[in-house]
Amino acid sequence: MLKGKSVVVTGGAKGIGRYIAHRFAKEGAKVAILDVDKPRMDQTLAELEDFGGEALAQVADVYNEDQVHSAMAEVAKRFGGIDVLVNDAGIVPHFNWGTPRWPAIRDMDVSFWEHVMNTNLGGTFMCSKHVIPYMEKGGSGHIVNLYGGGGLTPAGALTYVISKEAIRYFTRYHAEEVREAGICVVVLGPGGPIATEDAPDEARARMDSPELAGPRFLLAAEASMEMSGHLLNLDGDKLVIDD
C-alpha cells in the first residue's frame, strides 16, 4: 500500500512526471516533485494539494549535487523519510510530435551531448546517490528509473538512446549494491509513445495520454526484490520482467 508513503518524482512539474506524481498523490502518498521549471512546478504542486495529501516542490537541477542533496534532505525532513524515488527527469526528443531530429554525432556540439547525458544518466545517478541514505535508514525503499520514451529509433537521437541504455545497465548493477539494504531498483518505460500537455493538438489527438504511464509506476514502487535490477513491463494488470 502506498498510502502515507513518501515519494520523490524528479521532472515532476510537467509531462509524464506530472502524471506519475498525480497517481501517487491519488493513492494517498506524500509526494515531492523536483524540477527546474518553477512556474510549472507551482502549478503541479497546487494540483497535488487538491488531491488532499501532503505535497512538496523543490527546485533542483538533477545533476547539481548541492541542489539534489538539499532537496532530498528537505523532503526527508518534511515527510519523515523517503520510501520511493522515481527518476523521471530527462531531456527527450519528441519526433512523434513533429519536432526536428537531433544532430548527428559528427555535427553535435559537445555541450549538447553533455547536457543530455548529464541530465538523463547523470541525474539518475545523482538522485539515487542522495536518496540511498534515507532508504537505508528506513530499512527499505524503491528506486524506479525511466527507460525509453519518445517512441524513436537511434537515427537523430543517438545521445538519448545511449543515455537510456546506460540507465538500464546502471539499474542492473546498482541493484546489487543496495540489495542487502532492502532497496529495490528497477527500470521501466512509460508504455509507448505519449503526447503530454506540451504536444501539439494534432499529436495529442492521435497518441496516448500520459495518464497511461501512471499505473505501471505505482506497481513498480511496490515491486518485489526478485524484480530488482531488471527491466520491467506491464502485462495486463501486473508487472513482468522484460529483459
Domain-embedded: residue 1? no
CATH number of the domain to which 76 belongs:
3.40.50.720
- Three-class SS string for the chain? CCCCCEEEEECCCCHHHHHHHHHHHHCCCEEEEEECCHHHHHHHHHHHHHCCCCEEEEECCCCCHHHHHHHHHHHHHHHCCCCEEEECCCCCCCHHHCCCCCCCHHHCCHHHHHHHHHHHHHHHHHHHHHHHHHHHHHCCEEEEEECCCCCCCCCCCHHHHHHHHHHHHHHHHHHHHHHHHCEEEEEECCCCCECCCCCCHHHHHHCECHHHCHHHHHHHCCCCHHHCCCEEEEECCEEEECC
Given this model, what pLDDT does residue 211 score?
A: 65
Per-residue pLDDT tens listing for the chain (243 residues)? 899 999 999 999 988 899 999 999 999 999 999 999 999 999 999 999 999 889 999 999 999 999 999 999 999 999 999 999 999 999 887 666 566 778 888 999 999 999 999 999 999 999 999 999 999 999 999 999 999 755 455 566 888 889 999 999 999 999 999 999 999 999 998 876 665 665 555 655 555 566 667 789 999 999 999 999 999 998 988 999 998
pLDDT at residue number 97: 57
Question: What's the domain range around 24?
Answer: 6-241
pLDDT given at position 38: 93
pTM for the whole structure: 0.93
Inside any domain, residue 173? yes
Q: Which residues have a catalytic role annotated?
A: 160
The answer to whether residue 77 sits within a structural domain is: yes
pLDDT given for residue 103 in this prediction: 86
Number of domains in the chain: 1
Domain assignment of residue 94, yes or no: yes
- Asked whether residue 57 is assigned to any structural domain, the reply reads yes
